[in-house]
Amino acid sequence: MDRIYLDHASHMPVDQRVLKIAEPFLIKDFGNPSSLYSAGLEAKQSIEESRAKIARFINAENEKSIVFTSGATESNNLAIRGTAFRNLKDGKEVLASAIEHISVLNPMKELQKNGFTFNIVPVDSNGVVDLNKLDDLLTNNTIVTSIMYANNEIGTIQPIKEVSEIVHTKGRYLHVDATAAAGRIPIDIQKDSIDLLTLSSNDLYGPPGAGVLYVKPGVKVQTVMPGGGQERGLRSGTENVFAIAGMGEAARIAQKEMRKENARLEKIRDKLINEILKIDQAYLTGHPKQRLPNHASFRFSHIEGESILLNMDMYNIQIATGSACSHKTLEASHVLLAIGLKHEEAHGSMVITLGHSNKIEQVPVVVKAARETVERLRRLSPLAKKR
C-alpha cells in the first residue's frame, strides 16, 4: 500500500519549488555571508531577500526585526532567556500557558534556577488559555509571557489579540510561538501587537536547520550564544544560507497559497474527524471549531498511543502520539494532562496533521486502519478486558 504520511507537525518535506531556490547555495553559489568577495555578497543578498519575504509574511514593521536562528527551539530560548536576562532591572517573573512546547517551558524552568518566578496559566478542557487567570497572574514584574498561537498536539488556536491586550496592560513583553500556526492561519504581528514571535522553516515546507525570531523594534534582547556577532549580535555563527534562502521562499509560497490549501485540508480534516469519532470510545481532543485546518487529534480509551503509532505504521500510515519532542520520556503528554485528562486517558492519543500530499480519497483507508488498530489493541489490553 502507498505510504500515507500524517505527521506534518513534526516534520514536513521540502517543497520542490523551495529546493530549486535553495539548492544552489549548497553546490555552486556557496560563500560566507560575512565575506566581502562576490560569492559572499551574493550569499548576504539572498539572506536579506529572505528576511524581507518573512517580514512581509508576518506583516513586520521592517525586515530588520527578523533574526535568523537554527530553528524554533533556539528562537524560543533566545526570546525567553535573552529577554529575561536583558531586562533584569525591570523584574524577575516569567509566565507561560500550561500547554506550551517544552522548548518554552524548559527555558523558563531554567530561569527559576536563576531566581526568577515562573507561573503557569491554566487552559480549559479545549485547550484555550484562561484569560481571567492570565490577568490574575500578570504583574509589573512579568518580563516575558509566552502563549503559543496554536498548539501542535491538539490544534487549538489561541485568542492572541485578547491575550496581547491583557499582557500589555499589566505585564511587559508577549512572546508567541507560531511554529504550528504559520502557514495554516494568517499572522499579523502588528495587528495583534506581538513583541516576539517564533517561526520554523521546516514547518513551512522549508529546509530543516533554520528558524526566525521576530523582535519588535524597541524590545531589548541579549544574546544567549556569544560569538562573531551575526544577526544583529543576537545569533552568532555563520548563517545557514541554504536553509535561510529556502525558508524565505517557503514563506512567500505559503502566503500566496495558504487560503486555497487550507480550504482543501479542512474538508479532509472534517471528514477524518467525523468518521474516526464513530469508533467506539473515540474522543476528539482540542477545540471542536477553533482549531488548525490541518489538525485532527483523538484519544481512545484503554489503549496506548505508542501502540497505536506502531500498528498504524504496519499499514504504512504515519501518525503521531503527543509531541515528537517529548515522547521519549514515556510520560503522559503535559498538554493532555493540562486539558483535564487522566494519565490513563492521555496515553491513548493519536494526532493527525495533514499536508500537501494528503487527499480526500485517503480518508477511508486511514479510518479503516484506525478502526482495526483500535479493535486489535483493545483485544490485547488488560484495561479493556476489565470493563
Q: Taking the CB of residue 264, how many other CB atoms lie within 10 A of it?
A: 16
Q: What number of CA atoms fall less than 13 Å from residue 188's CA on the CB side?
A: 5
Does the annotation count 325 as an active-site position?
yes
Q: Please check whether residue 321 is in contact with residue 308, taking contact to mean a CB–CB distance below 8 angstroms.
A: yes
Reference 9, options 208, 191, 152; nearest CA is 152
Rounded-to-integer distance, Cα 251 and Cα 54, Å:
6
Tell me the β-bridge partners of 199: 212
Reference 245, options 4, 10, 59, 20; nearest CA is 20
- Strands 142-146, 66-69: pairing is unpaired
Quick one: which H or E segment has residue 366? helix 363-380
**Angle 181-322-329 from CA coordinates, rounded to 5°:** 130
String of DSSP letters for 74-110: HHHHIIIIIHHHHTGGG--EEEEETT--HHHHHHHHH
String of DSSP letters for 129-154: B-HHHHHHH--TTEEEEE--SB-TTT
Rounded-to-integer distance, Cα 139 and Cα 23, Å:
48
Rounded-to-integer distance, Cα 242 and Cα 23, Å:
6
Reference 84, options 74, 92, 76, 73; nearest CA is 92
Catalytic residue among 52, 120, 225, 325: 325
Cell of 327: 515522547
DSSP character for 68? Answer: E
Q: Which residues are catalytic?
A: 325
